[in-house]
A and B are shown apart, each in its own frame.
Chain A
Amino acid sequence: MAKLPAGTLYRGKVGMWSWVLHRITGVAIFFFLLVHILDTSLVRVDPEAYNSVMATYKTVIIGFGELGLVAAILFHAFNGVRIILIDFWRKGFKYQNLMFWIVVAIAFILFAGFAPRHLMHVFSYNH
């Protein structure tokens, strides 16, 4: 951003940070999806090539990357519902702040349930 906008609508509160997070997670998921379509396409070419690329998804380092991806999807998905409610529910705007924290709570609880299980899968595969 080269120039400062003359008047800004977003002043560092929940409304701005939820938007920043929604944007960053959306971009991250988008680039993962591009790669994911390409790697899956190997099933049409050669089973061994597909399996060897999948083996990299099972490494510990990429395993942690997958935690990040799932966290991004959880936030983006539930904050997407929040955006839809702000747009279509009459009281959505009034509760947008509260809904943000509900989004964070739901995403966090689901992530806390997923992360240990995923790490168990990853580490037992790499035992």
Chain B
Amino acid sequence: MEIVIETPNSPRKRKGANWEKYGWMYMRISGAVLIVLIFGHLIVNLWDKGVGAIDFAFVAGKWTNPFWQVWDVLMLWLAMIHGTNGMRTITNDYAEKEWVRKTLNVSLWVVCAALIILGTLVATTFDPCIDPNAVNYLPTVCK
């Protein structure tokens, strides 16, 4: 198959919304926001007290605070869509058969949607009191 590549800066001829352009913008805007969200996440979870301190009580301490729930849900959505759209770029580059490319891309977005829904539900419906010990470290929340 002969591939014809248009002059890179030639104006777009197709009509309608330019989704590739919005995707391109999204990668850059979400990337900029993710720097703040991911670096903050790593500083609080990995740098401050270290991996050794991460357990259910640690998560309960963060997710009884709406600030960290909003932080984490925002990070989840931005990173999953950024990562999935980046993976789509890569499958578009390497998948040679059209049906392979389509199947991979549809799978990517299905996984993306499933994990965004799962993660959002987990973070927003989190209940620290399912831990019987929670009365000890969250006496005002769990009685």
Contact = CB atoms under 8 A, between A and B. Distances in A.
Interface of A: 1-2, 23, 26-27, 29-30, 33-34, 37-38, 40-41, 43-44, 46-47, 50-51, 54, 57-58, 63, 66, 70, 73, 77, 80-81, 83-84, 87-88, 114, 117-118, 120-122, 124-125
Given A23-B90, A77-B39, A51 B28 contact: no
A2 B83 CA distance: 25
15 contacts: A23-B90, A26-B83, A27-B87, A30-B87, A33-B80, A37-B76, A37-B119, A40-B119, A40-B122, A47-B131, A50-B56, A58-B54, A81-B35, A83-B28, A124-B52
B118 A41 contact: yes
B94 to A, nearest CB: 7
Interface residues of B, number: 42
A51 B79 CA distance: 25
Contacts of A77: 31, 34-35, 38-39
Nearest to A78: B35
Interface of B: 28, 31-32, 34-35, 38-39, 42, 46-47, 49-52, 54-56, 59-60, 63, 76, 79-80, 83-84, 86-87, 90, 94, 96, 111, 115, 118-119, 121-122, 125-127, 130-131, 133
B44 to A, nearest CB: 14
B52 A44 contact: no
A16 to B, nearest CB: 14
B51 A73 contact: no
Contact of B42 (A46, A50, A73): A73
Given A43-B126, A77-B39, A33 B32 contact: no
Given A2-B96, A47-B133, 20 more contacts: A37-B118, A43-B59, A43-B60, A43-B63, A44-B125, A44-B126, A54-B54, A58-B52, A66-B46, A66-B51, A70-B46, A114-B46, A114-B47, A118-B51, A121-B50, A121-B52, A122-B52, A124-B52, A125-B50, A125-B52
A104 to B, nearest CB: 17
Contacts of A121: 49-52
A77 B126 CA distance: 30
A35 to B, nearest CB: 10
Which of A38, A63, A80 gathers the greatest number of chain B CB atoms within 10 Å? A80
